[in-house]
A and B are shown apart, each in its own frame.
Chain A
Amino acid sequence: MGTRRVELATAAAAAMCLVLASHLRLVSGLCARSVLGASSVGSSRHAVASRQRHTLRMGAAASTGGKRKRGKANPEMDAVLEKYEPVIGIEIHVQLATESKAYCRCSTTYSPLTPNTNICPVCMGEPGSLPVPNDKVVEIAAKAGMALGCSIAQETKWDRKNYFYPDTPKNYQITQYDRPIGEHGRILLPNGREVGVTRIHMEEDSAKMNHQGAGTSLAGSTHSLIDFNRAGIPLAEIVSEPDMRSGLDAAEYGKELQRILRYIGASDGNMAEGSLRLDVNVSLRPKGSSELRTKVELKNLNSFRAVQESTDYEIIRQGKCYETGETIRQETRLWDEKEKVTKIMRVKEGESDYRYFPEPDIPPLRLPRAVIDGWRAELCELPAEKRARYRSEYKLSEADAETITDDQTVAAYFEAAIAAGADPSEAAKWILGDIAAYVNKAAVAITDIGLTPPLLAEMVTLIQGGRITGKIAKELLPELLEGGCEGGVAAVVKERGMEVITDVTVIEGVVREVMEKNADKVEQYRGGKAQLAGFFVGQSMALSGSRADPGTLQRVVKAMLDGTQ
């Protein structure tokens, strides 16, 4: 199964101008490109967003990994949870990381500023055009299914889901109905909760509608522009079992899925660009009951924080509804990020009839056992496995293991440092501390910093071997991070005379100097102010240029102050 090549849209198709006016006036000469360029759509978020994914969550403090419970008390939530159990399931749409679209060869490059340039007869639904499935989509979706613990279908097929909407070029979506690529999976969240994965199936994205004349909202807009660059982008839809019980669970599930998909290269999981979209279904039931009650679907969740907050909001809202006798309707609600509330978008009246039937343009696909096994063999170590190994093999704390494994490149950096001889807990300490601070501040990827894993290993080994002090290391670090000290940490330390001083005589000389300058404080110490010992240690350390061996220094200071030496 080969990768399909990206092929640019035909010039004719690219030149097409797509304007759907509610007055149905084709605005002549109005090119979607120029109109969109001037609108708020597209914005500058793309440039920023794409950098975000390498951000290293600093230590446990910034992650949910450290504190499992919500920090501040929430009496409203407590009141609801006393009587009700939240039941939460999540549907995720994730863009699969292919170069070309699901059923044609157009580029998948995110390009909102140049609408209708990555298009061809297929993704425009031109008459006579036919979908040809991208083999790479099948491979990635199958691997994602495996990583989510799903069993992979040996025969899978595509179906048409029929509905009319201007963003759907064929007015049906090619998706999978009764034979999805993967089913019956399960993932383990860092907080220990297991969540069932009902199914994963392949489908195609719709075009992007940009409503005009009323901000970006549909209500009140005069017309809409349609950008078909997104039409036909390959997606996987991943449906969970209703196994989650809190907003935190929901956010953790989303994060874990994002990690897994990034680990196996299935998706960049970028929420800001819409590569990862979560819809959360929330319902409540009386504690101890196993019924499934009317659920509400939450949309417009653009961050995991939004997932957590909106879910918790919805739990409380529904709890209040039950208490006041208000009916919960099956509806879709949008999260308002500013007001921190969910707002009704539409009420679902009965099930839509999508008239699914097998896609006659794509024959069913048989996946031989050998192909599936080959893909399975290509899977990397998954986040949960890595976390467990870091804890058992490297004795990292749960929180540290979660933070380091959060980004595969960081984990790889960590493992490379260990391979180069670094002590795991020391390496972890530096990565989660100074290195994380630097990476986040400079907004660079850990793979791009000057302090390579072997250099970190060397530095850590020098500290542990007592050759340099931690303070010296901290002094050297900015230079190391920026790519100085190419000859190695030891060479620089030696060249600059930064090695630790362990010679007692030298240290005694330093301490003596400090004592002589601070005779009054010596008197006070000897008069009973024992806490002044710290002052002498600090001053002596500074005078030694941070090079004095801390243990030796402390001993010497104590002995000299006490006059035992």
Chain B
Amino acid sequence: MSTKAALSPSPLSDAVRAVKSGQRSAESLVQESLDRIAAADGKVAAYLSVQGEAALEAARVIDNAVAAGDAATLAKPLLGLPVAVKDNLCTQGVPTTAASKILEGYVPSYDATAVRKLREAGAIIVGKVNMDEFAMGSTTETSAYKVTRNPRNLGHAPGGSSGGSAAAVASGTVLGALGTDTGGSIRQPAAWCGVVGIKPTYGRVSRSGLIAYASSLDCVGPIATCVADAAALLAAIAGPDAASDATAAEPAPLPDFGAVLRGVDAALEGGAGGGRGRPLEGLRVGLISEALTAGGVAPEVAAAARAAADALAALGARIADVSLPRLPQQCAAYYVNALSEASANLARFDGVRYGARARDAASARASLLRTRHDGFGAEVRQRILLGTFSLSAGYADAYYARAQAVRAGLRTDFARAFAGADVLLCPTAPTTAYRLGDFEAKGVASYADDLFTVPASLAGLPALSLPCGVDAAGLPIGVQLIGGAWQEEALVRAAYAYERSTDWRARLPPGLQS
């Protein structure tokens, strides 16, 4: 086991620096990534498609530009970095399926804004990764194509819906990946795979090109092996996108994360008497009391979250209990809200303009029905039906309207909580990774396990998950930090200080566990 001293604070920065200095070629980075995919993915099955040739070609273009000393190229913050992209983000000319049969053969005519920004920052996409079909699920098992396994324990699920992204990072095939988070789909797989995931403030990253699940909740965000790398990826994809997404915004730009992290480093090293410093002095952390006592929370998870709060206190943070009294209602409100929107968002998949179309139907109507019946998996069909029901005349008031009311009430609760806290803390998920098959066995009961992640989604707040322990079986435990709107800086600062002063990252190195 490596020690934390041996760990670079940012492998991503190291790689980019090496490319820029000519110390390493982008091509060799990409090749290394492809080799690792070849070695690991037979077991993990994170990738739905690998664009090896295109990635190598892109790398060679970068290497030539670096050799020529091209200033614009050398200014790119992610130059030469191999990344993986969740398969619900459109990639021009590259199949994009959202892990659904109904989009089999669909090749987008455009790049998602986040994808375009990654490319513009110099990153190289090596593959599209697996997910729950249309992001509906929390283990990646609803994918129509393959079962992705948790690199920490192949008998377990990687979480979901961004399970492919988390598994790709945790198995060491890439340093970073894009995921999407509607009700926890970045944070929960990051927690289960022992990596770092950030769900930014709603609107921080453009949704253009993200195949919509629930428009008012969907966020694009990064998954990486450490806080600094996740922050660097977030910085690359963030920003308003007035031309393509009316809901993207930037009332407060992201800070220079490099400077934020250097500040933390300086404070850590500058501790009195050569001891550890207190970089989080003044930070007010609210421990969500209901989260540690809720039914279904594994004792090890609750203990790890409490220990994380203690660790933050040791770094200077002031910890206080805060209450989110309506927490138990959030899952129901979330699902009604998300599924209502999903029922409309998924209506466009009819086989008329793209994707798979049922054959031998006698009429347009029959074609529509058969295409959708055959094209969607059982979980997706169930969610469309539930959402359609929630919006139906005679039921909309009892379901959709009530969910909206709960959502509005939650904002009030958060406002109260943030009056006394800069950051809220709770477990990311009540349990560690499910065994494969558990999701289906639990049925809709599994929806309740989104309890800790949906509040930030409903309120549009930024939230981050990072490793804070392992359970008896060696499966990672994640802790979630929730920030005020547009306050990603506080999350990154607290998470980085925590990560640098604990050894969870060192104990959960990327790569396949034997």
Interface residues of A (CB under 8 A from B): 10, 12-13, 16, 18, 20, 22-24, 26, 105, 121, 124-133, 160, 162, 164, 166, 169-172, 224, 226, 228, 351, 353, 355-357, 360-363
Q: Residue on B with the closest CB to A353?
A: B393
Report if B442 contacts A (CB, 8 A): no
Pair A353/B246 contact, Cβ less than 8 Å: no
Partner of B393, one of A128, A171, A355, A362: A355
Contacting pair B388 A22 (CB below 8 A) = no
A228 to B353, CA, bound (A): 10
A397 to B343, CA, bound (A): 59
Bitwise, B99-119 to A at CB < 8 A (1) or not (0) is 000010010111010000000
Considering the chains assembled together, what is the distance between the CA atoms of A315 and B361 in angstroms? 42
Task: Determine whether the beta carbon of B246 is less than 8 Å from that of A129.
Answer: no
Closest residue to A160 on the B side, CB-wise? B344
B residues less than 8 Å from A160 (CB atoms): 344
State how many angstroms separate the Cβ of B336 from the closest Cβ of chain A: 11
**Chain B min CB distance to A155 (Å):** 15
Q: Contacts A126-B354, A128-B108 given; indicate if A363 touches B348 (C-beta within 8 A).
A: no
Given the complex, which residues of A lie within 8 Å of B400, measured CB to CB? 357
Which of A20, A121, A129 has the most chain B CB atoms closer than 10 A to its own CB? A129
Contacts of A351 in B (CB 8 A): 393
Interface string of B342-368 (1 = CB under 8 A from A): 011001111011100111111110011
Cβ contact within 8 Å between B108 and A126: yes
Tell me which residues across on chain B come within 8 A of A172, comparing CB atoms: 344, 347
B473 at the interface (CB under 8 A from A): no
Asked if B353 and A24 make an inter-chain contact with CB atoms under 8 angstroms apart, the answer reads no
Q: Within the complex, which residue of B109, B112, B215, B243 is in contact with A10, where a contact is CB–CB below 8 Å? A: B109
Asked whether B341 lies within 8 Å of A360 as measured between CB atoms, the reply is: yes
- Closest chain A CB from B347 CB (angstroms): 4
Could you say which residues of chain B place their CB within 8 Å of the CB of A126? 90, 108-110, 353-354
Whether A357 pairs with B362 at a CB distance below 8 angstroms is no
A-B interface contact total, Cβ < 8 Å: 134
Q: Is the interface of B mostly helix, strand, loop or mixed?
A: loop
Chain B: interface residue total (CB-CB under 8 A): 53
A/B interface sample: 18 pairs, CB < 8 A: A10-B110, A20-B364, A23-B360, A105-B243, A124-B353, A126-B108, A127-B98, A128-B88, A129-B209, A130-B244, A130-B245, A162-B344, A166-B368, A351-B393, A355-B343, A357-B400, A361-B246, A362-B246
Do A22 and B362 touch across chains, with their CB atoms under 8 A apart?
A: yes
Contact across chains for B396 and A357 when beta carbons are under 8 A apart: yes
Determine which of B112, B209, B353, B362 lies in contact with A125 in the assembled complex, contact meaning CB atoms within 8 Å: B353
Q: How far is the CB of B316 from the nearest CB of chain A, in Å?
A: 38
Contact B353 A18 (CB under 8 A): yes
B215 touches A166 (CB 8 A): no
Q: Are the C-beta atoms of A128 and B211 separated by less than 8 Å?
A: yes
Q: Which of A20, A172, A228, A356 has the most B CB atoms < 10 Å from its CB? A: A20
Query: B residues 197-217 with Cβ under 8 Å of A?
Result: 207-212, 214-216
Given contacts A24-B359, A131-B246, A360-B215, contact A162 B391 (CB under 8 A): yes
Which 7 pairs of residues, A with B, have the shortest CB-CB distance? A171-B347, A360-B215, A360-B216, A355-B391, A12-B109, A128-B209, A127-B211
Residue among B245, B364, B391 making CB contact with A132, cutoff 8 Å: B245
Contact of B96 with A by CB under 8 A = yes
CA distance A129 to B345 in the complex (A): 11
Interface string of B421-444 (1 = CB under 8 A from A): 000000000000000000000000
B513 part of interface (Cβ distance < 8 Å):
no
Q: Which of A24, A128, A129, A226 contacts B89 (CB 8 A)?
A: A128
16 additional A-B residue pairs with CB within 8 Å, beyond A127-B106, A130-B247, A132-B244: A10-B110, A20-B364, A22-B361, A22-B362, A23-B361, A121-B108, A124-B354, A125-B348, A126-B109, A127-B103, A127-B348, A130-B244, A164-B368, A353-B393, A355-B391, A362-B246
A169 x B348 contact (CB < 8 A): yes
Q: Is B382 part of the contact surface with A, judged by Cβ < 8 Å?
A: no
Q: Assess the B96–A127 pair: CB atoms within 8 A.
A: yes
Q: Within the complex, which residue of A13, A26, A133, A361 is in contact with B357, where a contact is CB–CB below 8 Å?
A: A26
